[in-house]
């Protein structure tokens, strides 16, 4: 399998254990398997396929979960990107990305969904290429750009497939993945319509202390640096009780982005029952992100 640059494995009967671990087996299928059945709440896992995607780290393929909506393609695409951790041990133990509620939302709205796992994390393994450096002098521009490199590789790979539309792609990211999505927006990729960043940032909750950020002024300055070249629309979503990036800091980042010339809609969502940093994982009545995402996506036709 490692000799192939692309592989799809279909998990028709597989199910996700808590944390997104696979409990069912995989069986090989062709590069362009048959379309999955109608998308319905809770059914996303049954339609899951596993892809191997070339990454910026030589010799390392990104493992990615891929989901198809109802009907025939080519499909519009949403790419959802996970967070990270500077601790190598924790990164190695990360399960495959799982954003069930958001994935099902996109499927219900006709989008195919890709959840890539970047180099240096979990099943993908390989070198960690997005380190931010020391807490005293982190390089948030560099780390964001390295994350963006992996996002770009996933987007370009999928956009070349006949079952995916070449334009109108929505890139979504959470935490460090959201920060990388914003860095990617600064490149104005032609096949991407818009970026949605949930709880975006780097260097939050240092030493696991709520509200304790590594060099927050550098994070704000980096947001301005990205905003200086970004011209595509972006949606920034944070919860009021985010213990990694408090409202005053997240507002400063969005303000710096806009002041530099970037387009940003910033929305502060109500506090969640758990840590607001994981608002992207909420569902049901607590998924206050839904109307904001729905309105934003509708403004950018696929």
1 part of a folded domain = no
pLDDT, tens digit (0-9, with 9 covering 90-100), for 259-289: 999 999 999 999 999 999 999 999 999 999 9
pLDDT digits (tens, 9 = 90+) for 140-157: 999 999 999 999 999 999
**Residue 210: per-residue pLDDT:** 86
Question: At a CB cut-off of 8 Å and minimum separation 6, what does 202 contact?
Answer: 132, 138, 140, 143, 144, 176, 179, 214, 219
Residue 114: inside a domain: yes
Which CATH number characterizes residue 192's domain?
3.40.50.1820
pLDDT attached to residue 46:
56
d(CA 83, CA 201): 9
| Alpha-carbon span 141 to 183, nearest angstrom | 8
Range of the domain at 277: 7-298
User: Cα–Cα distance between 103 and 177 in angstroms, integer?
Assistant: 16
Is 254 inside a domain boundary?
yes
**b/e for 39-56, b at 16 or more Cβ within 10 A?**
beeeebbbbbbbbbbbbb
Judged against a pLDDT cut of 60, whether residue 6 lies above it is answered with: no
| Residue 2 maps to a domain | no
Domain membership of residue 287 (yes or no) is yes
pLDDT at 17 over 90: no
pTM of the model as a whole: 0.85
User: Exposed, middle or buried by CB within 10 Å (0-12, 13-18, 19+), for 76?
Assistant: buried
Note the pLDDT of residue 11: 33
Average pLDDT taken over every residue of the chain? 86
């Amino acid at each position: 399998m490692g000799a192939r640059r692309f592989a799809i494995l279909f998990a028709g009967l597989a199910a996700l254990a808590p944390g997104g671990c696979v409990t069912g087996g995989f069986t090989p299928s062709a590069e362009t398997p048959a379309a999955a059945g109608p998308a319905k709440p809770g059914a996303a896992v049954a339609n899951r396929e596993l892809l191997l995607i070339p990454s910026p780290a030589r010799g390392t393929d990104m493992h990615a979960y891929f989901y198809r909506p109802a009907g025939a393609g080519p499909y519009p695409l949403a790419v959802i990107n996970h967070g990270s951790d500077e601790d190598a041990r924790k990164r190695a133990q990360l399960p495959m990305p799982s954003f069930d509620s958001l994935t099902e939302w996109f499927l219900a709205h006709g989008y195919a969904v890709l959840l890539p796992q970047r180099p240096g994390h979990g099943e993908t393994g390989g070198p960690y290429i997005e380190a931010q450096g020391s807490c005293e002098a982190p390089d948030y521009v560099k780390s964001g750009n390295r994350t963006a490199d992996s996002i770009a590789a996933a987007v370009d790979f999928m956009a070349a497939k006949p079952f995916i539309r070449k334009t109108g792609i929505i890139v979504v990211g959470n935490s460090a993945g959201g920060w990388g999505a914003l860095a990617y927006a600064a490149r104005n990729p032609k096949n991407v319509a818009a970026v949605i960043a949930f709880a975006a940032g780097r260097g939050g909750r240092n030493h696991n202390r709520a509200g304790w950020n590594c060099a927050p002024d550098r994070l704000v300055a980096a947001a301005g640096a990205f905003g200086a070249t970004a011209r595509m629309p972006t949606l920034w979503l944070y919860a009021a009780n985010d213990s990694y990036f408090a409202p005053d800091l997240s507002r400063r980042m969005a303000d710096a982005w806009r002041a530099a010339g970037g387009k940003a809609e910033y929305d502060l969502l109500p506090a969640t029952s758990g840590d607001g940093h994981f608002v992207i994982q909420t569902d049901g009545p607590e998924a206050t992100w839904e109307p904001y995402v729905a309105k934003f996506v509708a403004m950018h036709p696929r």
